[in-house]
Structure 1
Amino acid sequence: MNKLNNREQKAINKKWHISETAMALFKERGYNSVKVKEICKAADISLGTFYHYFSSKDSIIDETYQIIDERIFECLDERKFNTPIDKILGILEQSACIMQEELGYVLMVGSYYQIISSKPDYSYSHNRNLYVTLVETLKEGIATGYFKKDTEPEEIAETCLRLGRGDIIDWCLKGGSFKLCDLIVKDLKRMLYSIVVNPEDLEF
């Protein structure tokens, strides 16, 4: 990969600054209560600068999912997993923990409102790193005989993410009153149990 020049690095830093400022406002006040001009004021930028980096306020939310994915794989980079299920659970648990501890339920309410009311982009994309990694892990598990041969990797990956979204919405509806990480792991274990060749060996 070519090293970024000074101008490119400054552009990346500026975009991150705007994104982080917006996310802090969303978390504090809720997505719908924050206007673009307020983001500009808090970030000390002009309206033109904002629209140079983002097409709309909604596009910041889409960017959030890319940030979440980057954080997931940064946190898991040094971890070793004993089984494919451990890896799947590790990835999705880390995702839930980032949403719970770093973003908060107020921001996630705004995020889901935006996703539902507009056309989903990165968060639902099959090119998303999170989805691609889940599919690859499932395929590896099938090839090594850990998962049943009739397992459909793409279908199971979709189910994992759909189940996770359901738990996130439930967590938001209940005001973030329980540990999202624990619920997602618990529900995923129940679902993944059905595709393991030797489920009796699992410590569920």
Structure 2
Amino acid sequence: MKNLTERQKQAIATKLRITQISTDLFKRKGFENVKIQEICDAAKISTGAFYHHFKSKNEIINTGYEQIDLLLRERFESKTFNSNIDKIIYLVSEGSVLLQDLGWIFVGDVYKNLLSTDGKYTFKSDRFVTLEIKSAIELAIENDELQSSISSNTLTETILRISRGFIFDWCLHQGNYDLKTDILSDLNLILANYKK
């Protein structure tokens, strides 16, 4: 991989800064209430610079969602685990902590955006969370931590679908319960059915 030029590094830094400032505004005010000019003013950039990096506000939400995965990956790769099941539990629980930190308003806006966007990031089969959960399930089956009566694809999709459902429910309840606790309760019920 070739080294980035200073101009490329500056462009990446600017895009990240716009994403972070926008995410903060969305968390505080809600996606619909934030205007592009407000983002530009807060980021100290022109609207032309904004549109150089993003086609729309919706694209910022997608970028923000990808940033969640990057943070999760960084935390995941710095840990060691006693079992593959512990990896699965960590990925789901730490992901829910990151979402809870963003707040139900912002996460709700992400979900609204997903309903109206083609190429939904959350369903990407090469997404870090999806790949790691599937890998951990495959290893858990190989190492006799989980039964082989269910395929790794089916169990991965079940875990992701239940997680998305919990996140949606948490947004509907305006974040008034602990997302991590409730997701983990159901995740442990699912995994208990397939433990050896």
Offset of 1:78 from its aligned partner?
2.4
Residue aligning to 2:66: 66
Question: Does the residue aligned with 1:3 lie in a helix, a strand or coil?
Answer: coil
Verify the 8 A CA contact 1:30 1:106 in the aligned structure 2.
Answer: yes
Query: TM (normalized to structure 1)?
Result: 0.91
The 5 Å alignment of 1:10-25 reads 10-25=10-25
Q: Which amino acid aligns with 2:106?
A: L
CA contact (8 A) 2:85 2:145 kept: no
- Secondary structure at the aligned position of 1:9 is classed as helix
- The AA in structure 2 aligned to 1:143 is E
CA-to-partner distance for each residue in 1:38-57, whole Å, 9 max, x for gaps?
A: 21122111111111111211
Residue number in structure 2 paired with 1:2: 2
Counterpart AA for 1:154: N
Aligned pair count reads 196
CA distance, structure 1, for counterparts of residue 182 and residue 108 of structure 2 = 18
SS in 2 for 1:100: helix
Extract structure 1 runs of 4+ deviating beyond 2 A: 1-5, 117-121
Cα deviations across residues 40-85 of structure 1 (Å, max 9, x unaligned)? 1221111111111112111111112211111112122222111111
- Name the aligned partner's letter for residue 19 of structure 2: S
Instruction: State the match for 1:38 in structure 2.
Output: 38
1:129-167 superposed Cα distances (whole Å, 9 cap, x missing partner): 110111111111111122112221111111111111111
1:9 offset after TM fit, Å?
1.1
Specify the code of the residue in structure 1 equivalent to 2:129.
L
In the alignment, what sits opposite 1:175? 174
User: With structure 2 as the length reference, what TM-score do the two structures score?
Assistant: 0.95
Deviation digits for residues 95-152 of structure 1, max 9, x if unmatched?
1001112x11110111111111222422211011110111111111111122112221
SS at match of 1:89: helix
In structure 2, what is the Cα distance between the partners aligned to 1:173 and 1:74? 29
Give the percent of matched residue pairs that are identical in Structure 1 and Structure 2.
33
